[in-house]
Amino acid sequence: MSEIPADRRYAKSHEWVLNSEDGVVTVGISDYAQESLGDITYVEVPGVGDTLSAGDVFGVVESVKAASDLYAPVAGEVVAVNEALDAAPETVNQSPYGDGWIMKLKVSDPTEIDALLDDAAYAAEVA
Q: Which tens digits make up the pLDDT trace of 45-88? A: 999 999 999 999 999 999 999 999 999 999 999 999 999 999 99
- pTM here? 0.96
pLDDT digit string, tens, across residues 10-35: 999 999 999 987 899 999 999 999 99
- Look at residue 3 in the predicted model and tell me its pLDDT: 87
pLDDT of residue 119: 97
Q: Which of 26, 17, 23 is nearest to 80 (CA)?
A: 26
Q: Compute the chain's Rg from CA coordinates.
A: 13
DSSP SS3 for 62: strand
Q: How many Cβ atoms sit within 10 Å of the Cβ of residue 11?
A: 23
Measured in Å, how far apart are the chain's first and last C-alpha atoms?
Answer: 9
Neighbours of 18 (CB within 10 A): 17
CATH fold of 9-108: OB fold (Dihydrolipoamide Acetyltransferase, E2P) (2.40.50)
Q: Where are the domains of the chain?
A: 9-108
